[in-house]
Amino acid sequence: MSAPASTATRSRFTPKRLYLVLAIAEACTWTLLIAALITRATVGIEPAVLTAIGGLHGFVFISYGATAILIAINQRWHPLVALLAVVSAIVPYATIPFEVVQSRRGALNGDWRLTATDDPRDKHWFDRFVRWFLNRPILFVSILVLVIVLIFTALVLAGPPGGR
């Protein structure tokens, strides 16, 4: 017996799951970065290792921020909540408690908004634009990754925080 169409077409990678994965990844890269900085200060570390870890953390940081914005739009979070989600990545490990709070509030529940509903907000051009991209996941992820890589590249070219 096959699953109903509505269940079969639903994404297994829900907004809640995606947000959790990126929140944990952000915390893990904070751990790597902090450990590398402590190691550099105490016993020394190859500068290339610190640069690689810093680059990984930066890439995950930008990815988390982009994901937080996407999910804030999909879940219709208040703009200040969306801003707080992005800002939580600046404080080490703050993404996880933020995710826990949002999850407990039910703000991460639900699937991707792929079709218009009776909600008047679904008629807004921006919601239609987001739905259009969400219904083309390969194109959407490709463009999102490209934008993240471009931002990351621009930041790498600008140099590390605080200069060299």
Angle separating helix axes 125-134 and 137-158, nearest 10 degrees = 100
For residues 61 and 128, give the distance between their C-alpha atoms in angstroms, rounded to a whole number: 27
Cα–Cα dist 52/63, whole Å = 16
Task: Quote the pTM value.
Answer: 0.84
- Confidence band (pLDDT; 50, 70, 90) for 162? low
Closest CA to 161 of 54, 65, 56, 59: 54
Cα separation values, 31 from 19, 27, 55, 67, 103, Å: 19, 6, 14, 20, 23
Nearest to 107 by CA among 117, 119, 116, 99: 99
**How far is the C-alpha of 157 from the C-alpha of 142, rounded, in Å?**
22
Token pair of 110, please? 């639900």
Residue 28 scores a pLDDT above 90 = yes
Q: Which of 23, 19, 20 is nearest to 92 (CA)?
A: 23
DSSP classification of residue 123: G
Q: Which residues, other chains included, contact 82 with Cβ-Cβ below 8 Å and sequence gap of 6+?
A: 68, 69, 72, 73
CA–CA separation, 153 vs 119, rounded Å? 39
pLDDT in tens, 45-99: 888 898 899 989 999 999 999 999 999 999 999 999 999 999 999 999 999 999 9
Compute the average pLDDT of residues 3-32.
Answer: 80
Q: Where are the beta strands (DSSP E) in the chain?
A: none
Alpha-carbon distance 127 to 114, whole Å?
10
The Cα–Cα gap between 16 and 110 comes to: 8
pLDDT digits (tens, 9 = 90+) for 101-145: 999 999 999 999 999 989 888 888 888 899 999 999 899 989 989
